[in-house]
């Protein structure tokens, strides 16, 4: 019973927080804009204006370098390793720490007018505007600067990380003296800041993350209590250099630096080249220098009034697990040669074309909601920046926008980001799943360390080795195996990519199913049900429990899916099957064992409360008194010892609710409502993963206002900095969750084992909603208003699905419009495998009028099925009146 002085009730996870200053950040449907410079929230703006392509990411540090919360350029998967020192060691604790490296900064282009540098913090800025353009795919800044001598200087700069050219970034820098002339110097640099090379940065303040190491704590909400404290930049894990210089090349307008990471041995090369555009009569002097940790090209000239000087800075990064840096330097040369031949203008056009295509596939229109529309597009744009060119890597929890979570991959990608990819850009999803396949060897070794068969994916990792130093909220989250299997099956069902299933997919499914079958056990005292003990579910406010509902539901799915995939491959592609048998040592009857365990999986159910307990002991706990918890004691993890938190019914995120979204076909509508009603008030939302799932399930349960509140929490989490840690990077999973909340929540789409259905829940205050999904190669535009839902094939041939239970067939050139019933009552979402039934009551006492589509009743979940049968029998009893 924690001492809790009375205080205002907390908002139960719905924290809309401070409103944005719309005069500074005006609403724009296709851009994020900033109309005046402020150093007060650099951490946030560096993140939300960042540019990237899933491989390379650059925080929105100003061209001038200098003042920053943290300078940062990140390459997905490019990491240093270190030995994790546990304050107390134990067998099997993670040993190989991994952290994304802050790679050399190429953003720096400094201007000196009359030898006076532009310093945003002190400059007299007559105009300032910064725009992240979602269609152009670049960050544009325009300033008019009045120098101390009183001269007006116009500077327009752009920064773009190319989508079509994975290894390329392009910056342009235009300077015009507006009302006078002056001698000008423009210095373009590469700076290795990872190893502290700020000696080049003449007015640099201490780096934000370095400052943080001096005592400031960050909030970390997915990877353990304070995963970011784990950032070795903070904890001093690196005593020496991270990047060992191996290459310095310098010739003409190009400089190249190459490095090798001290411990991970990964290699990197970075090169820059320059094009200068100026009137032919103006002499331009060029100086350059190169050192271990930096390179610089300085262009000096005398600028007459009204003449524009332009520098195009082409930058290339290449990285490798071990190819010599000199070889990577050659690759940079090839990228730069090709790019400069194409030219800046055409590269910018190609970027726009790539994004046009992206928006065609992915755009979501929230009609009549301009502020939300902007935020939605920002989220979708961030999803592109986090995933598009990850290729061979996973999707870090912060994309490539910051060092948060050390650049690690979590289940975030499979459960929160991959649905978006699968239904809009399946190639991105396939990349992630292929990446997981490459980690299978490490996952097999990890399973063995945990005394288990099969493969156990690490809770957090870059290189495939478990990097979670707090096992209770890390390694114990075995569910990651099933999360990966879930995304895989969803991908295969949505795309029909059976070839992937038969090769990489089967390996993952079989090895994860084996892990579950070995981890769980048959319990004779319980009429031979299958149990899983000693695991942690997604809700990290309860750890190491028996029969976590989420875990069991997902493991059940995983084992059944593996058995199905084996059977399907054996039937449809005997050659692939034989190869798999040989490759995986599949033995007779193995799949039948998984199927049996899946069928008999124990799913906790409490008859008295009529809910699914989060785990077998969850209801033994007291309920945390959230109403009396001081608002400044949230998030709980920063104010209470884990032992205290674990002792109560209180949630970081509601994993029962999540399970009932992901495996909605396994649960009745009544269950979903009962469980939502039970868990939502216990949910703090201290996890950034919480809000969008609550939005989806609130929508399904018919709590429209609540759904919208949760949606907004997810939508503005970074733009409004609701979790006060946007500085550490974007919450990619929340951005993915925003798409899911739009399509699954308000659009009411479900994919139950390949059966697509829609049962929309358009918020009252919204005019209409338009989104696209791609099903087996057919892209469908879905347009939803309060009366109808229309489907138009934009690309591909045809698709079949249901709308509120009624089958719909749509073909190219033949849009279909479905009239929606207009009653207010919530309806059954999805194609049920359990019969729903009318007459049951919601928490508010109202009776659900839902008419159940006549679907066959399939397998029911143990106790739950019995409860439903009992309720049905009760309902059928003759009325005593």
Task: Please say which residue, 401 or 543, places its beta carbon nearer to its own copies.
Answer: 543
- Nearest distance from residue 262's CB to its own copies, in Å? 18
**C-alpha to C-alpha distance for 202 and 117, rounded to whole angstroms:** 10
Give me the sign of the Cα torsion angle 55, 59, 62, 65.
negative
Q: How far apart are CA 476 and CA 12, in angstroms?
A: 27
Q: Which of 163, 161, 169 is nearest to 355 (CA)?
A: 163
Instruction: Specify the residue, 227 or 747, whose C-beta has the smaller distance to its own copies.
Output: 227
Q: Is 64 a catalytic residue?
A: no
Distance CA 596, CA 560 (A): 8
- Which residue in the list 34, 80, 246, 540 is annotated as catalytic? 540
Residues 333, 336, 339, 342, Cα dihedral to 10°: -80
Residue 3 or 876 having the CB closest to its own copies: 3
DSSP 305: B
CB of 633 to its own copies, least distance (A): 10
CA nearest 794: which of 783, 779, 809, 815? 779
Smallest distance from its own copies to CB 397, Å = 15
In the complex, minimum distance from the CB of residue 242 to its own copies, in angstroms, rounded to a whole number? 19
Output the six-digit token pair for 508: 């993952």
3-class SS of residue 170: strand
Provide, rounded to whole angstroms, the least separation between the CB of residue 413 and its own copies.
21
H-only helix segments in 122-214: 208-213
Tell me how far apart the alpha carbons of residues 671 and 662 are, in angstroms, rounded to a whole number.
14
Asked whether the beta carbons of 548 and 604 are under 8 A apart, the reply is no
Q: Which is nearer to its own copies, 435 or 648 (CB)?
A: 648
Contact 17, 182 (CB under 8 A): no
Distance CA 361, CA 424 (A): 6
Name the site residues for its own copies (rule: CB under 8 A): 1-3, 84-94, 97, 217, 224-227, 229-230, 235, 448-453, 468-472, 474-476, 518-519, 521, 523, 533-535, 543-544, 546, 616-617, 620-622, 637-644, 646-647
Least spacing, CB of residue 601 vs its own copies, in Å: 16
Nearer to its own copies, 25 or 640 (CB): 640
Give the C-alpha separation, 498 to 838, whole Å.
39
- Give least dist CB 476 to its own copies, A: 6
Rounded distance between C-alpha atoms, residue 534 and residue 532, angstroms: 7
**Minimum separation from the CB atom of position 656 to its own copies (A):** 19
Q: CB of residue 638 vs its own copies: minimum separation in angstroms?
A: 6
| Nearest CA among 315, 318, 284 for reference residue 185 | 284
How many other CB atoms are there within 10 angstroms of residue 312's CB atom? 21
Which of 452, 833 has the CB closer to its own copies? 452
| Closer Cβ to its own copies, 488 or 601, answer by number | 601
Encoding tokens for residue 11? 């908002």
Dihedral sign from CA coordinates of 488, 553, 723, 27: positive
Q: Closest CB to its own copies among 606 and 753?
A: 606
Q: Pick the closer one to its own copies by CB: 452 or 692.
A: 452
- Report DSSP state, residue 125: E
Residue 816: strand, helix, or coil: strand
Burial class (CB in 10 A: 0-12, 13-18, 19+), 822: exposed
**Burial (CB count <10 Å: 0-12, 13-18, 19+), residue 468:** buried
Return the active site residues.
Answer: 540
């Amino acid at each position: 019973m924690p001492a809790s002085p009375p205080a205002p009730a907390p908002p139960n996870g719905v924290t809309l927080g401070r409103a944005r200053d719309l005069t500074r950040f005006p609403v724009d449907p296709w851009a994020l804009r900033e109309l005046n410079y402020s150093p007060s929230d650099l951490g946030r703006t560096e993140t939300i204006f960042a540019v990237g392509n899933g491989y390379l990411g650059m925080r929105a540090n100003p061209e001038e370098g200098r003042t920053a919360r943290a300078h940062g350029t990140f390459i997905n998967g490019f990491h240093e390793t270190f030995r994790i020192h546990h304050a107390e060691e134990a067998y099997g604790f993670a040993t190989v720490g991994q952290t994304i490296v802050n790679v050399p900064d190429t953003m720096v282009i400094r201007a000196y007018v009359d030898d006076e540098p532009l310093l945003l913090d002190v400059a007299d800025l007559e105009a300032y505007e910064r725009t992240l353009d979602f269609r152009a795919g670049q960050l544009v800044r325009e300033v008019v600067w009045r120098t101390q001598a009183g001269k007006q200087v116009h500077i327009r700069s752009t920064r773009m990380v190319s989508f079509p050219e994975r290894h390329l970034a392009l910056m342009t820098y235009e300077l015009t003296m507006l009302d006078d002339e002056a001698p000008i110097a423009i210095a373009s640099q590469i700076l290795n800041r990872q190893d502290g090379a700020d000696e080049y940065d003449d007015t640099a303040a201490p780096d934000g993350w370095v400052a943080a190491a001096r005592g400031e704590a960050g909030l970390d909400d997915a990877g353990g209590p304070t995963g970011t404290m784990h950032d070795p930049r903070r904890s001093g894990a690196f005593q020496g250099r991270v990047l060992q210089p191996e290459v310095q090349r310098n010739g003409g307008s190009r400089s190249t630096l190459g490095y090798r990471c001290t411990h991970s041995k990964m290699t990197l090369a970075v090169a820059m080249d320059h094009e200068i555009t100026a009137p032919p009569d103006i002499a331009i002097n060029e100086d350059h220098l190169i050192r271990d940790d930096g390179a610089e090209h300085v262009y000096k000239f005398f600028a007459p009034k009204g003449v524009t000087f332009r520098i195009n800075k082409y930058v290339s990064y290449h990285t490798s697990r071990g190819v010599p840096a000199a070889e990577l330097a050659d690759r940079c040369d090839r990228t730069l040669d090709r790019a400069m031949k194409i030219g800046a203008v055409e590269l910018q056009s190609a970027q726009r074309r790539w994004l046009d295509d992206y928006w065609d596939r992915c755009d979501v229109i929230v009609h009549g909601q301009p502020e939300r529309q902007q935020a939605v597009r920002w989220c979708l744009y961030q999803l592109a920046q986090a995933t598009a060119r990850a290729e061979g890597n996973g999707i870090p929890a912060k994309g490539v926008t910051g060092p948060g979570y050390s650049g690690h991959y979590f289940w975030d990608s499979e459960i929160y980001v991959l649905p978006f990819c699968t239904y809009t850009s399946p190639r991105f999803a396939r990349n992630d799943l292929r990446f997981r396949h490459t980690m299978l060897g490490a996952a097999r070794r990890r399973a063995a360390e945990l005394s288990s068969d099969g493969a156990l994916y690490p809770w957090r990792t870059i290189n495939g080795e478990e990097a979670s130093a707090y096992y209770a909220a890390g390694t114990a989250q075995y569910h990651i195996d099933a999360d990966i299997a879930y995304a895989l099956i969803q991908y295969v069902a949505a795309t029909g990519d059976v070839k992937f299933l038969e090769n990489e997919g089967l390996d993952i499914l079989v090895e994860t199913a084996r892990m579950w079958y070995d981890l769980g056990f048959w319990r004779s005292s319980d009429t031979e049900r299958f149990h899983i003990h000693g695991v942690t579910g997604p809700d990290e406010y309860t750890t190491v429990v028996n029969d976590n509902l989420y875990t069991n539901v997902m493991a059940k799915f995983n084992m059944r899916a593996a058995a199905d995939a084996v059977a399907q491959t054996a039937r449809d592609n005997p050659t692939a099957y034989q190869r798999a048998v040989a490759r995986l040592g599949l033995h007779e009857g193995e799949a039948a064992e998984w199927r049996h365990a899946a069928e008999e999986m124990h799913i906790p159910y409490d008859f008295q409360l009529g809910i699914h307990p989060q785990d077998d002991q969850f209801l033994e706990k007291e309920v945390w008194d959230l109403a009396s918890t001081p608002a400044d004691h949230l998030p709980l993890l920063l104010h209470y010892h884990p032992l205290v938190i674990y002792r109560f019914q209180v949630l970081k995120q509601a994993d029962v609710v999540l399970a009932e979204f992901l495996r909605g076909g396994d649960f009745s509508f009544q269950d979903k409502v009962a469980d939502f009603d039970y868990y939502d008030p216990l949910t703090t939302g201290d996890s950034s993963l919480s809000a969008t799932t609550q939005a989806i399930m609130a929508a399904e349960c018919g709590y429209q206002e609540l759904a919208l509140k949760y949606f907004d929490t997810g939508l503005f989490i970074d733009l409004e900095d609701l979790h006060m840690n946007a500085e550490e990077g974007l919450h990619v999973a929340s951005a993915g969750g925003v798409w899911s909340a739009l399509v699954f929540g308000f659009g009411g789409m479900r994919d139950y084992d390949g059966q697509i259905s829609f049962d929309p829940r358009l918020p009252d205050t919204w005019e209409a909603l338009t989104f696209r999904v791609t099903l087996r190669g057919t892209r469908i535009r879905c347009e939803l208003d309060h009366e109808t839902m229309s489907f138009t094939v934009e690309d591909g041939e045809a698709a079949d699905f249901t709308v509120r239970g009624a089958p719909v067939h749509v073909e190219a050139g033949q849009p279909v419009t479905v009239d929606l019933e207009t009653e207010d009552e919530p309806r059954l979402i999805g194609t049920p495998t359990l019969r729903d039934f009318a007459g049951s009551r919601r928490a508010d006492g109202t009776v659900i009028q839902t008419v159940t589509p006549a679907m066959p009743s399939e397998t029911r979940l143990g106790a739950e099925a019995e409860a439903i049968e009992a309720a049905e029998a009760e309902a059928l009893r003759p009325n005593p009146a």
